[in-house]
């Protein structure tokens, strides 16, 4: 595998959970837990790309590394691209993992699984999915990956949708928004305008597919717990306290 870096986009604004990155879980801000789990994956250096000095200070107080980026980015991918230019102007790293800042309990194996598709030189972007739980089949907040098998647990993405798809017998797959980009693919992606299907489905990854980029998806056993609401936060607190 090429030299890789892990970047964690993190922004303070959140309508459902104000100041989410700083939410305390088991004695640490949530963003610090994400950093620690990312470091445990041993993929490469871990840097938080944030839009607020308070996030940067919290990460550094926990022993991590953070860089301030512009506050007006429209997407995490744009923030990721700016951070990559700031922390690696020498272009040492040619693969970057985009790990979300609201998954404080992500397993190292899940993070590494996003990289596995990049062992194929034809793949531009790697990501992960798991079998869809029954309660998510008809819920548009659960993004479905429409895929075809390649080998082992690796699949090629044909489409991503909020609809219940595909029809017929067989499992549905829940796409999890962890991405491993070749650097050239990330640079191409952020230079593209939002695409028609991206706008319609409100799914950024469709921009890459519509531009002819290849996304392969690794199947993992279970989805990492994400934190978006006060109820999610309480569940994470109970889970991490019980694991301590």
Ordered by start, the domain boundaries in the chain are 1-106
Distance CA 115, CA 231 (A): 31
Given this structure, which CATH class describes domain 1-106?
A: alpha beta
At residue 243, does pLDDT exceed 70?
A: no
pLDDT band at 18 (very low <50, low <70, confident <90, very high): confident
Q: Answer positive or negative: Cα dihedral of 195, 197, 201, 205.
A: negative
pLDDT at 2: 62
Neighbours of 27 (CB within 10 A): 10
Radius of gyration, alpha carbons of the chain? 17
List pLDDT tens digits, range 25-78.
999 999 999 999 999 999 999 999 999 999 999 999 999 999 999 988 888 888
Question: Which residue from 188, 187, 124, 136 is spatially nearest to 162, judged by alpha carbons?
Answer: 136
Distance CA 55, CA 61 (A): 10
> What percent of the chain stands above pLDDT 90?
85
Distance CA 198, CA 85 (A): 25
Is this structure's pTM higher than 0.75?
yes
At residue 1, does pLDDT exceed 80?
A: no
pLDDT at 244: 43
List pLDDT tens digits, range 75-96.
888 889 999 999 999 999 999 9
List pLDDT tens digits, range 107-128.
999 999 999 999 999 999 999 9
List pLDDT tens digits, range 177-210.
999 999 999 999 999 999 999 999 999 999 999 9
Residues 6+ apart with CB under 8 A from 101: 8, 9, 10, 20, 21, 30, 31, 34, 48
pLDDT at 15: 75
Distance CA 3, CA 5 (A): 7
**Mean of pLDDT over the chain:** 93
């Amino acid at each position: 595998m090429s030299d890789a870096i892990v970047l964690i986009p993190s922004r303070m604004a959140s309508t459902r959970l104000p100041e989410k990155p700083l939410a305390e879980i088991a004695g640490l801000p949530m963003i610090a837990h994400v950093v620690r789990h990312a470091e445990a994956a041993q993929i490469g250096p871990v840097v938080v790309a944030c839009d607020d000095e308070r996030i940067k200070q919290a990460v550094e107080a926990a022993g991590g590394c953070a860089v301030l980026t512009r506050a007006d980015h429209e997407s995490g991918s744009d923030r990721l691209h700016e951070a990559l230019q700031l922390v690696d102007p020498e272009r040492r790293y040619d693969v970057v993992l985009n790990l979300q800042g609201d998954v404080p309990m992500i397993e190292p194996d899940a993070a590494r699984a996003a990289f596995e598709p990049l062992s194929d030189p034809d793949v531009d972007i790697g990501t992960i999915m798991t079998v869809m739980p029954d309660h998510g089949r008809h819920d548009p907040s659960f993004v479905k990956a429409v895929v075809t098998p390649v080998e082992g647990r690796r699949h090629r993405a044909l489409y991503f949708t909020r609809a219940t798809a595909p029809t017929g017998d067989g499992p549905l797959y829940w796409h999890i928004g962890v991405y491993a980009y070749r650097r050239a693919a990330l640079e191409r992606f952020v230079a593209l305008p939002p695409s028609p299907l991206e706008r319609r489905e409100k799914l950024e990854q469709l921009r890459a597919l519509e531009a002819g980029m290849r996304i392969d998806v690794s199947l993992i056993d279970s989805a990492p717990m994400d934190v978006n609401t006060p109820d999610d936060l309480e569940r994470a607190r109970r889970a991490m306290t019980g694991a301590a």
